[in-house]
Chain A
């Protein structure tokens, strides 16, 4: 709240800077401001930028350094017996101190040390915020004055302002790169810690997955089994079932929609199909648990099959339903992109419509369709909520779709929801799984995008 007020005050200051800069420019510009290099407004923006940017920069730097500096000060002020705690215990204590300090309510403190440190932390934070606010406001005022002093008719205010805006545009476009770097670094960092405890080969080729066993903090190393093959197999099984549902239905719908359907029918059916894509996956998960799984179980009992209520089949079918619109809209795009001259040629040779489609249109559109299917597979592999709700938790290595299997994403969620210990292989293994997931989907996407791009313009 306080922070919000500070931001508003700074924005108001910048607005005042704008007015003053514009006024001053009009004054120095002479008759009708004709002598000015830029429009008067640009001088206003120039001063406003001087007013706001240094202060914003200061706040950004301050906020990103503050946690580390405060932590160091708090650790320094701890009594000696607390400072010499092992790193894990110390970080627990510091976490508690931070939470207590943030809430200002020491009733649930674990001990005297925590309460004292939390009080210290709280005052430090208040002082730090006060100092930052005062410094930011002073800097803003100084910036405003400096900006005003620079104003004269020869100042190329527009170019300066546009330069800053362009810098902002360029900086924004690097966010995508920083996100990728952030993903890679955070996954890699924790995965490397994991692979120091569990060898990579055991992880990638081990057949036994049971991370829940023997997990006490003082028991690092006496870990459960971290062979991820059952997870990969389960993910693959569910994705394959999903593809068996989604590819035929999606592809045939797209063909009908693109080649046969009356425009009126198309204009109704296509948006309706896309509604399927807009439904949140958590809803599909609930649908799988509530409707599809019991239905399949009962149907299985009726014909003498035992189908688990968390079977790969029900999960895969529901995931397939989710992916239908994905496949159909991608295929629809590539099918309509096939030039009409190819169809006319086939008709001229006496082919029926279905023959034209099967022998001319589909082969021409095939690279795009394959690209779409690859993207769909990558989405199926990375899908989380449906499998978390509808698939099993324990890892079985099986190819039987009637049994419960677990997937990579299910394990990531189960390992990370609840208490996390960043020094046990149990928690860290989730990051290793995440790394595998990221790399596999990345590879699929790169291949898919290349296939699509390479063959897209073949007929233009």
Chain B
């Protein structure tokens, strides 16, 4: 009798347990699903970000140019025949382009027609011709077929970013559209590699704007940052790991380093503005000052990485060196530091990569001005690549959206290259003890 009851009770419990087990397994499955979903979502964000930037930006690597037979008319360029630099510099080169264009499109015979025709060509096209003449005055008097930049709006039209329809934001008259079609059909207007993007500084004209000035500015800042933060960071790490005894003083230093690693970068910008610019009167907008500010940003990263690398060197290396009669400094310099160097370099490259992408402190010290010239020294005013991206992103023209994305692609390529070097170093020299 009792056996029966027990059996009933047991089977009831078993039923309950197996029912609960189903539920518990369902929960288990769902939990797993949450995990995998969140990874997919996070990677999805990454994919959307990269795709949206690349799809917006890849078109900026080519740019429409127009092929025109330009006659270097001596009576226009150099009426006195002196070939003097001032005469050549100030000549009216735009009229050469106008002559070439009106010769091709004879229907642009009135004043507004000529203006519409000239609106197709970039406002900087005459500077290209001037450069050619200044480089080689012997071209005067000859006729050459040149590829010249067109206005950004023409470029956008050809890339399909602008409507032909004036009601939908198109900027061209029917006459201009006919000219553009004629030039494209004859192969005189087509997309070519955008050399300005890689050789020019900033410009108000999107078709002439490039990242080179910003890249050079970034390079100078980076050199200053590296020259300061690498020795300082490694020296600090060596002192803390190899020499310092744990006491109040080293505790203070460590707490400071850990806190600096988490201080918002804009605060370093405020420090730079107050100390470097206001107290020491260093020049505004200079990559040198930018490098100083970025040194403060990247120093904690380098110190922490260098300490980890030094810690990874096994103690018996040190004991063996000391046992053979080396001094502590000899032990560090001849044995520990060389063994830790791959790790330190990896950390340094990662710190530098962070500094390259950093822009907030640079805004504070004024590296955010509109600067056309490529800086010739670390003391010249300049921008940096991420700041250039920020500046272009604020420009309303469609052509600058494209160029912003292209600049981002350039920046991401640099970062990828630096990180790949770091990974390669780590893989190649990583040593297990």
Give A residues with C-beta under 8 Å from B. 1, 64, 67, 98, 102, 158, 162, 165-166, 168-170, 172-177, 179-180, 182-183, 186-187, 189-190, 248-250, 252-253, 255-257, 260, 269, 272-273, 275-276, 278-287, 289-291, 321, 324-325, 328, 352-355, 357-358, 375, 378-379, 381-385, 388-389, 409, 412-413, 416-417, 422, 430-431, 434, 437-438, 441-442, 445-446, 449
Contacts and interface: CB of A to CB of B under 8 A. Distances in A.
A51 B206 CA distance: 54
Contacts of B262: 375, 378-379, 441, 445
Given A175-B299, A283-B412, A285-B393, A384 B264 contact: yes
A434 B35 contact: no
A357 B394 CA distance: 47
Contact of A276 (B25, B31, B45, B366): B45
A284 B320 CA distance: 50
B79 interface: no
B236 A172 contact: yes
B271 A183 contact: yes
15 contacts: A102-B283, A176-B236, A176-B300, A179-B271, A179-B299, A182-B271, A183-B268, A278-B357, A281-B357, A286-B389, A354-B32, A382-B265, A409-B360, A434-B270, A441-B263
Contacts of A186: 270-271, 274-275
B390 A282 contact: yes
B239 A170 contact: yes
A445 B259 CA distance: 7
Contacts of A384: 264-266, 359-360, 363
B275 A182 contact: yes
Contact of A260 (B32, B252, B253): B32
* Residue among A1, A253, A375, A409 having the largest count of chain B Cβ atoms under 10 Å: A253
A158 B325 CA distance: 13
A278 B353 contact: yes
A174 B32 CA distance: 48
Given A169-B243, A176-B257, A413-B266, A253 B408 contact: no
* Residue among B42, B357, B377, B401 having the largest count of chain A Cβ atoms under 10 Å: B42
Contact of B253 (A174, A284, A291): A174
Interface stretch (B47-55, B59-67, B87-95, B308-316): B47-55
Interface in B345-381: 353, 356-360, 363-364, 366, 368, 377
Contact of B280 (A64, A172, A321, A442): A64
A190 B270 CA distance: 10
A169 B239 contact: yes
B263 A291 contact: no
A354 B262 CA distance: 33
Given A186-B274, A382-B266, A416-B364, A289 B393 contact: yes
Interface of B: 24-25, 27-28, 31-32, 34-39, 41-43, 45-46, 48-49, 52-53, 56, 231-233, 235-236, 238-240, 243-244, 252-253, 256-260, 262-268, 270-271, 273-275, 278, 280-281, 283, 296, 299-300, 303, 327-329, 353, 356-360, 363-364, 366, 368, 377, 386-387, 389-390, 393-394, 401, 404-405, 408, 411-412, 415, 419
B140 to A, nearest CB: 31
A252 B353 CA distance: 28
A102 B282 CA distance: 11
A145 B327 CA distance: 28
Contacts of A290: 52, 56, 401, 405
B34 A252 contact: yes
A442 B263 contact: yes
Contacts of B257: 176
Given A284-B49, A324-B42, A379-B262, 4 more contacts: A275-B46, A283-B53, A283-B411, A382-B264
Contacts of B353: 278
Given A102-B283, A353-B28, A382-B266, A179 B260 contact: yes
A12 B236 CA distance: 27
Contacts of B244: 173
B404 to A, nearest CB: 6
A67 B281 contact: yes
Contacts of B252: 177
B260 A176 contact: yes
Contact of A409 (B24, B264, B303, B393): B264
B264 A176 contact: no
A437 to B, nearest CB: 6
A281 B52 contact: no
Contacts of A269: 39, 43
Contacts of B39: 252-253, 256-257, 269, 273
Contact of A449 (B236, B258, B260, B275): B258
Top 4 nearest A-B pairs (CB, nearest first) are: A382-B264, A256-B35, A280-B357, A186-B274
A260 B33 CA distance: 11
Nearest to B229: A175
Nearest to A422: B278
A126 B72 CA distance: 46
Contacts of B393: 282, 285-286, 289, 389
A252 B24 contact: no
Contacts of A353: 28, 31
B280 A286 contact: no
A176 B359 CA distance: 21
Given A1-B377, A67-B280, A183-B263, A276 B42 contact: yes
Nearest to A389: B393
A92 B224 CA distance: 29
Given A67-B280, A276-B42, A286 B264 contact: no
* Residue among B49, B243, B265 having the largest count of chain A Cβ atoms under 10 Å: B49
Given A67-B281, A173-B253, A177-B256, A282 B357 contact: yes
Contacts of B38: 248-250, 252-253, 256
B239 A430 contact: no
A409 B263 CA distance: 13
Contacts of A321: 42, 45, 49
A426 B283 CA distance: 23
Contact of A176 (B24, B25, B256): B256
Given A169-B235, A431-B270, A176 B389 contact: no
A434 B353 CA distance: 25
A165 B329 contact: yes
A334 B271 CA distance: 34
A382 B43 CA distance: 25
Contacts of A381: 264
Nearest to B47: A272
Contacts of B366: 417
Contact of A352 (B24, B364, B405): B24
B276 to A, nearest CB: 10
Given A354-B32, A384-B264, A409-B264, A276 B259 contact: no
A310 to B, nearest CB: 13
B25 to A, nearest CB: 7
Contacts of B243: 166, 169
B226 to A, nearest CB: 15
Given A287-B53, A445-B259, A357 B31 contact: yes
